[in-house]
Structure 1
Amino acid sequence: MSGSSKEALKLHLLQLKCHFTWKLLLKDTDPDEIEKRLYDQLTFLVTKNKYMVYNLLAYVMHLKGDYTKAIENLEKAEEMTKENNLDETDHRYLVTYGNYAWVFYYLNQYEESQKYIEKVKQISKELKDKPDVAEIYGEKAWSLLKLCGQYYEEAKQCFEKALELEPEDPEWNSGYATVVYRLEGFNGRKCPDSECKSLDLLTRAVEKNPNDAVVKALLALKLQDLNRNDEGKTYIKEAIEQAPNLPYVLRYVAKFYRRAGMLDECLKVMKIALELMPTSGFLHHQIGLCYRNKYFNYKKESGNRNIYNREMDRESNVLIQNAIFHFEKVLEYKKTFVHAHIDLATMYCEAKEYQKAEDTFQAVLAFTNLIEEEKQQIYFNYGNFKEHHMRSESEAIYYYKESLPIAILQKEREMCEKALKRISSRKIRRNSHDAEGFALLGFVHKTNGEREDAIDCYEKALKYDPYNEEYVSELCELKLMI
């Protein structure tokens, strides 16, 4: 094929609607981990749309450079589409044919690639009165949802477009409800009750697809968020009865139990799920959280009763080590799971393994795709580690100051502000002329928008350190703002 013909072919490929043109930037994810997750879904999920999983698997195999397996998965996607295509509509093949065209292009089999482009063109001609296809939006949405949180917002938009075309479709309703639910609680966010949209969407999804036990479990969790625990338990019971051996249901059931403080029940359910999916990072993380919570509950109870003995020390150590074991397992299977890094570092601190904690924090800080919520959590927890375990006040201040301006997670922000005020008070208490103590308090006031108080603090800081350029700059900026 001549250079110009190859360039023309590439232009046609770029116009296809498939995984290769959906800008799935997976440079910060592990293709092996995604592959394992997708195979688990093929094993356990009961859905007529497994062809979508095979299509995504084909794309993952392309990322790994395994085009033989990519074609095998596309053949399976084609086969499953044919089996479930009762109304014999060709448009269900559009994404698969587009993926075929790209795979053969990368294999330098340009005639084969062109053949599939022509198939797409022929189907598109037949759809001239129907330029938008719900299945394409829906498949793109499900693919985005299966990858990672950075794609949730785009997945939501795709599900909305699919529902505009097919508002009664159970799959699109379930997907839309799921992604809205995840966005409302993404990275520890607390969605105000008045702004929660997922409750109605999940309720509708359950009505449209009463056999979807996973969506029922998500509805139970949303009801629990809204302190409607009895209603939530009803749906949890239904979900378990419908799918007692489905890991995706069991993990949400366990989460419901953990948040209700039913830690032993949670562990029982999670261990059943783990037998079915032993390499699930999500399951290991949930089990680790259970052991972590049991440990902190045990520690609090012992402290309140002022009891300490060797037996209790052994029990605490068992809980710590169990939590560490499962958090380490998470990172074995999900190397880029930010929350697991923070949780593991926290438990290393409890075990007094401070170098391991330091290494874990450094590892997660090196991630290049951190979103603001994740940065806020990492900086606060790292500052806490530096203050309370490494006794490095200066480093603690640095990371608290990095965290405080990120006003996304309210709990972390309140704790961070409290920590900075505590350090500031301690400095001024030790030395009433401590310029840094007043400047630190000024920083908190400035971040909170309390300009007059911030100016007062920075003026006091300059009184005791009159040549400090940072304090002069902050004071000038604040006065200009007024």
Structure 2
Amino acid sequence: MSTISKDSLKTSLLQLECHFTWTLTKEDIGLETLEETILDHIKFVEECNITDYNILSYVCHLKNSNEEALRNLQKAEEAIQKHHPGEIARRSLVTWGNYAWIYYHMQRYKEAQTYVSKVENSCKKLSSTVHGKIQLPEIYAEKGWALLRFGKKYFESAKNCFEKALKSEPNNPDFTAGYAIAMFRLVSFTEMSDEEMRPCLEALKQAVELNPNNTTLLALLALKLQQIKQGNEGERYIEEGLQKTPDFPLFLRYAASFYRKKGEIGKAMSILKRALALTPNSVVVHHQLGLCYKFKILQLKKERYPPQEEVDNLMQLAIFHLKTVIHKKPVYFTAYCDLGNIYALGERYEEAEEIFQRVLQINDIPCDDKQEIYFSYGNFQHFQMKSDSKAIEYYIEGLKIEKDSYRRKRCIEVVEKLLKQKIEHGLGHATDFGRLGFVHKLNGRKQEAIECYEKATALDPNNEDYVNALAELQLSISC
């Protein structure tokens, strides 16, 4: 193929709406884990699996298995023919786009061009669009489901995709389910009042109404009701789900989470063990089991004479499950904190330090995960290592990340308390006054911030940061 026509093909490929043009990067997800998750979904969900096969094809490509990628696209085509025989062109646009890209990467340019032409010709018939860009609700939805699979960084974009799809078909069960799940994921990572959570609850209720047999949606609704102190109503949904799908792993994971949060650890563990038997490689199940064992350890340690052998056994089980999570999904960053906390509980401080350092040195961690890491490591330094200076340093790092969250609030509260204690005991240096000034400034207490920066400047008159912060605060008050 000539360079000119190859460049022309690449230009056409970039116009297609498919997984290859949706900027889904493998760095944001554990590929092995994602592949296992999709295969489990195909195995346990008796619905049309076009979306699953398409994304599985893309994952195979990312793993350099293009032949396997093609086989999954063939399965997507079979599903389209079976479930949508009257809309084959409309439903195949994403699949054909993926075909074109995979053939391109295999340097089979003629076949790639064939699929580009199929997409372009279909788009012309379906609308006035000349290239492979076409605004169909099914494509928005497929993109939304793909974005949800690739982690929290993509949840807002996923919600937007489902919103666009719903504008065309407001009562489409698949679109409402996707939108509700995206909303659930988003509010799970944001500090919100009950009132702010209402749109998510309404979306879940509508999705449950339109998808009465989807027990995943039942479980998500139950978890949100539990969060706003309506746990009894939520539990009715969980029990209904257990009756309808007692062997559906995704539902079981959420049901276990519900009972763990309720404090019924035995029931949660029983459900998780059932889920693990069905999906032995599920990192979420392993993670939840690790948290359950941690909870049991904490309960035993409250006893006057905790049975050491039982504590040690639970410790080993918790470590096993959390190590499994990290091994299978290295980007599951909060699991590092959980493992570090388990080591700390067992007074295995060197191992705790090692695991915290490992996660602290990873680049490109999402903001909320980074806050969690700094907060956990600050706690480790404060409570286990008895180093308030190091604890303050890492709490400060957590609150510097300007994303409102429960962890950031806790960082602010704890660091303020520790700095005040240090200063009251006459141990405060310029750095401590500067940090306390910064905390007061964050909390909107400008006069107290000014007083702290004045003391910091008096102790370290050449520090430009203190001088500038003080001048800025004084100016903001005088204006």
Pairwise same-fold verdict (TM > 0.5): yes
Pair 1:190-2:185 in alignment: no
Give the TM-score normalised by the residue count of structure 1.
Answer: 0.92
Instruction: Tell me what 2:51 maps to.
Output: 52
Instruction: Tell me what 1:148 maps to.
Output: 151
Gaps of 5+ in 2: none
Where in structure 2 are the equivalents of 1:46-125 lying within 5 Å? Answer: 46-48=46-48, 50-125=49-124
Distance in 1 (alpha carbons) for counterparts of 2:76 and 2:114: 18
Distance in 1 (alpha carbons) for counterparts of 2:5 and 2:412: 62
Paired residues of 2:147 and 2:154 also in contact (CA < 8 A):
yes
Q: Which moved more, 1:152-161 or 1:460-469?
A: 460-469
Q: What percentage of aligned pairs have identical amino acids?
A: 43
Aligned residue among 152, 177, 201 for 2:180: 177
Give how far 1:425 is off: 3.3
Instruction: Tell me what 1:5 maps to.
Output: 5
Give how far 1:93 is off: 0.7
Distance in 2 (alpha carbons) for counterparts of 1:150 and 1:101: 27
Paired residues of 1:423 and 1:437 also in contact (CA < 8 A):
no
Give how far 1:365 is off: 2.1
- SS of 2:27 mapped into structure 1: coil
Given residue 47 of structure 1, which amino acid in structure 2 is its aligned partner?
Answer: E
Instruction: Tell me what 2:331 maps to.
Output: 336
Q: Which moved more, 1:436-445 or 1:259-268?
A: 436-445
Q: Which has the higher contact order (CA 8 A, sep 6+)?
A: 2
Q: Which moved more, 1:167-176 or 1:457-466?
A: 457-466
Deviations 1:13-70 (A, max 9, x none): 111111111111223433222212211111112222x111111111111112111111
Deviations 1:71-109 (A, max 9, x none): 111111111111111434421011111111111111111
Aligned residue among 280, 292, 295 for 1:278: 280
Instruction: Tell me what 2:212 maps to.
Output: 210
Distance in 1 (alpha carbons) for counterparts of 2:121 and 2:460: 77
Cα gap change, 1:215/1:413 in structure 2, threshold over 3 Å: closer, same or farther? same
Deviations 1:112-160 (A, max 9, x none): 1111112112211220269521111111111111121111111111111
Where in structure 2 are the equivalents of 1:58-457 lying within 5 Å? Answer: 58-128=57-127, 131-186=134-189, 189-196=190-197, 197-299=199-301, 301-302=302-303, 307-308=304-305, 312-406=307-401, 408-431=403-426, 434-457=429-452
Pair 1:41-2:44 in alignment: no
Give how far 1:465 is off: 5.0
Distance in 1 (alpha carbons) for counterparts of 2:428 and 2:236: 61
Distance in 1 (alpha carbons) for counterparts of 2:293 and 2:135: 49
- SS of 1:456 mapped into structure 2: helix
Instruction: Tell me what 1:481 maps to.
Output: 476
Q: Which moved more, 1:319-328 or 1:455-464?
A: 455-464
Deviations 1:304-337 (A, max 9, x none): xxx23xx533333333332222111111221110
Cα gap change, 1:199/1:108 in structure 2, threshold over 3 Å: closer, same or farther? same
Distance in 2 (alpha carbons) for counterparts of 1:238 and 1:7: 56
How many aligned positions are there? 472
Give how far 1:264 is off: 0.4
Over aligned residue pairs, what C-alpha RMSD do you find?
Answer: 2.0
Distance in 2 (alpha carbons) for counterparts of 1:209 and 1:417: 43
- SS of 2:26 mapped into structure 1: coil
Distance in 2 (alpha carbons) for counterparts of 1:370 and 1:164: 34
Distance in 2 (alpha carbons) for counterparts of 1:185 and 1:77: 32
- SS of 1:404 mapped into structure 2: helix
Give how far 1:252 is off: 0.7
Give the TM-score normalised by the residue count of structure 2.
Answer: 0.93
Q: Which moved more, 1:70-79 or 1:31-40?
A: 31-40
Gaps of 5+ in 1: none
